[in-house]
Amino acid sequence: MKRAAAIQMASGPNVAANLTEAGRLISLAVEAGAGLIVLPENFALMGMKEADKVAIREREGEGPIQAFLAEQAARHGAWIVGGTIPLEAGDAEHIRAACLVYDAEGRQRARYDKIHLFDVTLEENGETYNESETIEPGSEVVVVDSPFGRLGLAICYDLRFPELFRQLANKGVELIALPAAFTALTGRAHWEALVRARAIENVAYVVAAGQGGYHVNGRETHGDSMIVDPWGQILDRLPHGSGVVVADIDLDKVAQTRRSFPVLEHRRIDCKLAS
């Protein structure tokens, strides 16, 4: 049986400080027995303005953030899902919000670029988010073989689009890594319900790693990082503050649940609408 961890942070505008904190929390996860560690969205930078991440974008395979992830994976002999980092896009004003996966030797094994961008105005508190101003969306669904099973990748706002997760299921996903930075408002309303729903409907583990706390830029993120099993049970969670949640990943449980409750085999997508 393997063990996974989700890291929760409250990142700020100083990349070096964020990497130091991420390194500290990775060490705690390894000490707790985790061999797969998921960092939150924007773990290396929560800037004062959206354009700050464009200024630190990296070319794939180069740059200090990617070097940090590779070094941490190799040092600890652990697989690391690198939250999101800003990689070069098609023009100088945008980045790709890329989730990179490193194996225990520090080699990059997968890359997923965030597909669904958070362009939303929250009427309750007046907050406005326009990720498309600085982020170029991805278009490919990604699942990678790992010692922890078939590992699928999704990021934050992707959580609201079940069709993406169903495509992961179609690719044989057994475990889903979900880096996130949910707002405090939307997190209180929907985070737990959506994370558990994605686990239940796809009969898969979900390792959801969130930003959690108050940030220098004035933003508050929800936190409540959690690991959920294929039956929708929360195995561990961290409601507030920086830290680590850890749980065992039992692939036999995935297989057994799918045999006894074969919901994925019962899908009827060929039905016709009545005229």
pTM metric for this prediction: 0.96
Mean pLDDT of 231-237: 98
Query: Which residues does the annotation mark as catalytic?
Result: 41, 114, 156
- Report the alpha-carbon distance of residue 223 to residue 93 in Å, rounded: 29
Q: Please report, for the domain that includes residue 69, its CATH number.
A: 3.60.110.10
Mean pLDDT of 46-63: 96
Mean pLDDT of 18-42: 98
User: Is residue 271 one of the residues assigned to a domain?
Assistant: no
Q: What tens digit of pLDDT does each residue of 55-86 get?
A: 999 999 999 999 999 999 999 999 999 999 99
Give the structural domain span for 174. 2-265
User: Is residue 273 one of the residues assigned to a domain?
Assistant: no
Q: At a CB cut-off of 8 Å and minimum separation 6, what does 109 contact?
A: 79, 101, 102, 103, 144, 146
User: Is residue 167 one of the residues assigned to a domain?
Assistant: yes
User: Is residue 275 one of the residues assigned to a domain?
Assistant: no
User: Is residue 232 one of the residues assigned to a domain?
Assistant: yes
Half-sphere exposure of residue 257, counting CA atoms within 13 Å on the CB side?
A: 19
Mean pLDDT of 97-104: 98
Q: What tens digit of pLDDT does each residue of 186-203 get?
A: 999 999 999 999 999 999
SS3 (DSSP) at 78: coil
Contact 223, 241 (CB under 8 A): yes
Structural domains of the chain, count? 1
Contact 209, 25 (CB under 8 A): no
User: Is residue 54 one of the residues assigned to a domain?
Assistant: yes
User: Is residue 160 one of the residues assigned to a domain?
Assistant: yes
